Amino acid sequence: MTVLKKTTRFRAYQLGNAGSSFSYFSENKFTLIEARYNEFNAQSIKSEMKVCGVTEISTLHITSWDQDHCVPSQLEEIIEQLRPSRIEYPGYSPHTESGKSSLSII
């Protein structure tokens, strides 16, 4: 067995409505989990990025096309403001207009 000391940070953010928003930081890579970015979590995400010493996110990981995980207007803000180097999204076709719009933005 190998044991490795690793500095990591995991945060959950309040959204003010149904849904989820998380971040994970390790090895100088900041991952934002879910395309949710609004007046309730934006400042907290920016503050966490500052603590981690990053100005852009390495990965945006979207787990579902449902609006509680991905909102098109918030996805656009994330792309514009946080400039992810990589976007990972669900491997199935979206079935809602919101999901279809989000996929077309990506």
- How does pLDDT run across 1-26, given as a tens digit for each residue? 999 999 999 999 999 999 989 999 99
1 lies in some domain: no
Domain count, the chain: 1
Q: What are phi and psi of 76, to 5 degrees?
A: -60, -40
3 lies in some domain: no
44 exposure class (CB count in 10 Å sphere: 0-12, 13-18, 19+): middle
Give residue 91's pLDDT.
96
Q: Domain limits at 50?
A: 8-105
- Per residue in 21-62, pLDDT (tens digit) is 999 999 999 999 999 999 999 999 999 999 999 999 999 999
Give residue 66's pLDDT.
95
Query: Is the entire prediction scored with pTM above 0.75?
Result: yes
2 lies in some domain: no
